[in-house]
Chains A and B, each alone.
Chain A
């Protein structure tokens, strides 16, 4: 299934991209997205799908847009 990954903020530097589409097998979860990117950054992250939290154990759906961002605190 096709999943779009969007990386936000300074995570772009460690991930090496800001947005790309990937193919993942049926049944893949949020964990698979985390495994795909190299987030060598100590800042805690938040993963969302369509504006809602996505946990590592949550199954993905074809066409999902998964956003990975540092935890922001509102300046």
Chain B
């Protein structure tokens, strides 16, 4: 077997033990890496009902066969575990030197078990594993922690760390790396915190196994230059991801005021042009030549790295249109190690709940100072309110009651990304069926809906497009573990990825071969869900109820008077299930699961719930 190191590192924090474990070529070919490895390991090793914040949950770092290889945008890792926000399989990816360093240390994945007695830094240097005290930075923000680690181990080390939000087990805490990268908005920072694992530091010196390393180096380097050239020609990184904000505002897709509105006349103040004008530095992940991280000086003069999602959700969604203030909220989330996107949605939910009279309080939309104070209370789980909001919008709504769940902007417990689908049925479906909750990384269909079909349509073409994109975005890029941006933003051909895969593994696969792995991975995420929630039903694949409420329809603009319709959405959902081979609950049928090679996994889940 080449292309994989063939080994995983298993670490137990309770017993301070570690061991390298081999995996088979069959396992590698069936699951490839990243998300595929993670969901298979968690499905096999976690008992149903395990507390996501208990010592029996596992924290996984999983890489893919091209991770860390010098080729376009391969400096990424997947972090995974049972999600504290959804209770299902959870993961996220982030740019990090861990991708390269862990593979150079000789591992394709790291499995962390147990709970340390004291705050711990896990140090991996090739075959050496050490459990070091991290009390000096317990309670410290991610920036100070990162500096502390760099001072000890150098800037070339691969680092994952958490902030106070992770330590306090905020259910939407993230894992952080480098100066501005975050991943695992399904609560992976809280999983690390529950294990008292403050940081992971990795340094490796071994060669990454490749079938044809010389050709890979030559082609990978050429392709990095080509991607850079395309970026220059198209000007994509001038505004980076925030270019889409002005467009969302024009087509009534921007989240404003807890998604109550779809556009705002002041949105231009935080759009891509303003972001580019305020730029003080640009950052990127390892092996990236289209760097997307634009930093500005925030209201307190600190460097804050912004993108569309955090600007839209911490800005217009809270009716804050001062870019420097949005930068401050983003900086605080990053430093506390809590998710910027869920942060925006949780705060907007709270302001909305006060507006609706569901809960007393004086926090209002547009209140940047109040938002900053609240983020601190949440990250420290300070008082009843800090604790309530640290649980995320769904749990908070269920505590508050008074029909507030209708406007908790989440699916399955994970808050929405920054696309307001009040009248964008296909994208609403993409959020609804995303297997980890409402994450945009799985599928994104808005331009398809507007350009190649109709906004009004609930036809099967939209369900098919959601699936096509899931196979690529939530499939290929998540298990081969590379950033999707060269493909989605610059049109870098998908055919390049089987090419890289062949150069490292020697395997001559077609894209159809990969789509089968994607479908298998999605099916197993669903079986994981069924095992945790044996009474799963299709309503779990519905977006927030407020999008279906005619009383919430826009009163002006492009979609005035329009909203999603339950019957039609349910029909669109059924198209998705039919094409996928899922039953009416949204679970793979037995025939589908078996056809995808999941016989062992079916036997496990059928001890708890029947497949159709």
Complex Cα–Cα for A18 and B268 (A):
11
Residue of B nearest to A40 (CB): B233
Give B250-280 interface residues, CB cut-off 8 Å to A.
Answer: 250-252, 272-273
- Give the distance to chain A from B446, nearest Cβ to Cβ, in Å: 7
Contact A10 B235 (CB under 8 A): yes
Chain B: minimal CB distance from A13 (Å): 5
CB neighbours of B238 from chain A (8 A) = 9-10, 13
Instruction: Specify which chain B residues have a CB less than 8 angstroms from the CB of A69 in the assembled complex.
Output: 243, 246-247, 250
- Measured between alpha carbons, how far is A52 from B235 in the docked complex, in Å? 25
B115 nearest CB across to chain A (Å): 35
Cross-chain contact A74 with B272 (CB below 8 angstroms): no
Q: Which of A36-70 contact B (CB under 8 A)?
A: 41-44, 46, 48, 50-53, 65, 67, 69-70
A48 with B450: in contact, given A67-B247, A73-B488 (CB under 8 Å)? yes
**Most A-side CB within 10 Å, residue of B247, B308, B454:** B247
Q: Does B559 contact A (CB under 8 A)?
A: yes
Known contacts: A10-B236, A10-B239, A48-B450. The answer to whether A75 contacts B309 by CB under 8 A is: yes
Most buried by B among A9, A13, A14, A71: A9
Q: Give the nearest-CB partner of B562 in chain A.
A: A51
CB of A6 within 8 Å of the partner chain: yes
Give the number of chain A interface residues (Cβ < 8 Å): 27
Q: Are B272 and A9 in contact (CB under 8 A)?
A: yes
Q: Which residues of B contact A12 (CB under 8 A)?
A: 273
| C-alpha gap A68/B558 in the complex (Å) | 16
Query: With A9-B246, A10-B243, A18-B273 as given contacts, are A71 and B251 in contact (CB-CB < 8 Å)?
Result: no
A70 CA to B242 CA, complexed, in Å: 12
Interface residues of chain B: helix, strand, loop or mixed (majority): helix
For residue A44, which residues in chain B have a CB less than 8 angstroms away from its CB? 491
* Binary B-proximity of A1-18 (CB < 8 A = 1, otherwise 0): 000001011101110001
In the complex, which residues of chain A have a beta carbon less than 8 angstroms from the beta carbon of B230?
Answer: 42
Q: Which of B451, B454, B558 is close to A46, meaning CB atoms less than 8 Å apart?
A: B451
Query: For the complex, is B455 an interface residue (Cβ under 8 Å from A)?
Result: yes
Instruction: Digitize B439-468: 1 where CB-to-A-CB distance is under 8 Å, 0 elsewhere.
Output: 010001011001100110000000000000
Given contacts A13-B238, A42-B233, A67-B251, contact A73 B451 (CB under 8 A): no
Q: How far is the CB of B287 from chain A (nearest CB, A)?
A: 19
Number of cross-chain contacts by CB at 8 Å:
96
Docked Cα-Cα span, A50 to B557, in Å, equals 7
Residue from B234, B235, B239, B446 in contact with A74 in the complex, judged by beta carbons closer than 8 Å:
B446
- The verdict on A53 contacting B235 (CB below 8 Å), with A8-B247, A72-B247 known, is no
In the complex, which residues of chain A have a beta carbon less than 8 angstroms from the beta carbon of B74? Answer: none
Bound complex: CA A6 to CA B241 (Å): 18
Q: Given A73-B444, A75-B307, A51–B243 Cβ distance below 8 Å?
A: no
**Nearest CB of chain A from residue B330's CB, rounded to whole Å:** 15
Rounded to whole angstroms, the CA-CA distance of A54 and B539 in the bound complex is 35
Residues of B within 8 A of A18 (CB): 273
* A contact residues around B273 at 8 Å (CB): 12, 18
Contact between B234 and A73, CB atoms less than 8 A apart: no
CA gap between A9 and B245 in the complex, in Å: 9
Chain B: CB-nearest residue to A12: B273
Q: Contacts A8-B243, A9-B243, A67-B250 known; A53 to B450 CB distance under 8 Å?
A: yes
A46-B450, A70-B234, A71-B451 are known contacts. Are A9 and B250 too (CB-CB below 8 A)?
no
User: Chain A residues with Cβ under 8 A from B246's Cβ?
Assistant: 6, 8-9, 69
In the bound complex, what is the Cα–Cα distance between A52 and B89 (angstroms)? 36
Interface flag for B31 (CB, 8 Å): no
Q: Are A75 and B440 in contact (CB under 8 A)?
A: yes
Counting CB contacts under 8 A, is B477 at the interface? Answer: no
Check if B307 sits within 8 Å of A51, measured CB to CB. Answer: no
B419 interfacial contact with A, CB 8 Å: yes
The reply on B601 being an interface residue by CB < 8 A is no
Distance, CA A53 to CA B559, complexed state (A): 13
A48 touches B444 (CB 8 A): no
Which residue in chain A gives the minimum CB-CB distance to B485?
Answer: A75
| Distance of A37 Cα from B371 Cα, bound (Å) | 42
Question: Given that A46-B447, A74-B244, A74-B444 are contacting pairs, would A51 and B236 also be in contact in the complex, using a CB cutoff of 8 Å?
Answer: no
Q: Which residues of A contact B489 (CB under 8 A)?
A: 73, 75
Q: What would 9 A/B residue contacts be, using CB atoms closer than 8 Å?
A: A8-B243, A43-B236, A43-B491, A51-B450, A52-B450, A67-B247, A70-B234, A75-B307, A75-B489
What are the 5 closest A-B residue pairs judged by CB atoms, nearest first? A51-B558, A74-B444, A10-B235, A9-B243, A73-B488
Q: Which residues of A contact B (CB under 8 A)?
A: 6, 8-10, 12-14, 18, 41-44, 46, 48, 50-53, 65, 67, 69-75
